[in-house]
């Protein structure tokens, strides 16, 4: 009996390894590919969504826009067409969460520097303060890569509408001036079809790591 097992031991080991490989391959084939939700306004905290959009359950996309970046160039939604991008809202004089958000966006810029189909977009919520020269000085101080990351200013109503009607990330400020809002720490992941695929706390690096993983999922979807 021992001689029998000894004679066929090599064969048994080969069959065991081969079986493990086959089972693993079948599992990989049958395992569903990771996917991300497509966020609609009715899925988001109503405080962050304009009342005209809160009921929307499908087909939500980022609206058209035309704003001016740190170099004085007009940036429109066409510049982000068929691109994956990460958007946020900030202002250069913010003393609290914005510096952390900007530092984390800088780290994302570095992590994504070789991915030409992934861009960054930061909107100021105080366009009356953050003029083109102010944004340029801020960009140079922070080390912004102009080819990767636009800091944009422009019409205050347009920025307000983008924050609350498109990106769904700002609270209304009813006791402020016209189109005043309270922006959040949210980073928004937008896919190549202009759909929202994720929200992340821009002050939390662990969520930035999750964001990078989700960018990889969207990149694989495009291929």
List, as one string, the DSSP characters of 123-191.
EES-TTT--HHHHHHHHHHHT--TTTEEEEB--HHHHHHIIIIIS--EEE-TTSSTT-EEE-SEEEEE-
- The verdict on whether residue 98 carries a ligand-binding annotation is yes
Residue of 133, 129, 134, 196 lying closest to 165 (CA atoms)? 196
Parallel, antiparallel, or unpaired: how do β-strands 118-124 and 149-152 relate? parallel
Distance CA 86, CA 149 (A): 9
Q: Judging by beta carbons within 10 Å of its beta carbon (0-12, 13-18, 19+), is residue 43 exposed, middle or buried?
A: middle
Other beta carbons less than 10 A from residue 147's beta carbon? 9
For residues 147 and 116, the answer to whether their CB atoms sit within 8 Å is no
Angle at 85 between CA 100 and CA 34, to 5 degrees: 100
H or E segment at 200?
strand 196-201
Q: Which amino acids are annotated as binding site for Cu cation, given as ranges?
A: 94, 98, 183
Residue ranges of the annotated binding site are: 94, 98, 183
């Amino acid at each position: 009996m021992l001689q029998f097992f000894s004679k066929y031991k090599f064969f048994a080991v080969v069959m065991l390894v081969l079986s493990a490989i086959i089972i693993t391959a079948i599992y990989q084939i049958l395992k569903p590919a990771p996917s991300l939700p497509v966020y609609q306004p009715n899925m988001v905290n109503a405080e962050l969504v304009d009342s005209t959009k809160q009921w929307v359950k499908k087909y939500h996309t980022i609206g058209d826009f035309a704003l001016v970046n740190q170099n004085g160039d007009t940036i429109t939604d066409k510049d982000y067409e068929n691109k994956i991008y990460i958007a946020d809202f900030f202002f250069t004089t913010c003393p609290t969460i914005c510096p952390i958000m900007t530092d984390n966006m800088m780290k994302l810029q570095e992590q994504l520097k070789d991915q030409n189909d992934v861009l960054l977009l930061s909107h100021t919520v105080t366009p009356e303060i953050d003029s083109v020269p102010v944004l340029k000085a801020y960009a140079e101080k922070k080390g912004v890569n102009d080819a990767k990351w636009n800091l944009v200013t422009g019409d205050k109503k347009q920025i307000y509408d983008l924050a609350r009607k498109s990106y769904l990330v700002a609270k209304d400020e009813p006791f402020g001036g016209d189109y005043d809002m309270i922006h959040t720490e949210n980073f928004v992941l937008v896919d190549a079809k202009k759909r929202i695929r994720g929200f992340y706390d821009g002050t939390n690096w662990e969520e930035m790591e999750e964001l990078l993983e989700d960018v990889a999922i969207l990149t694989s979807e495009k291929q």
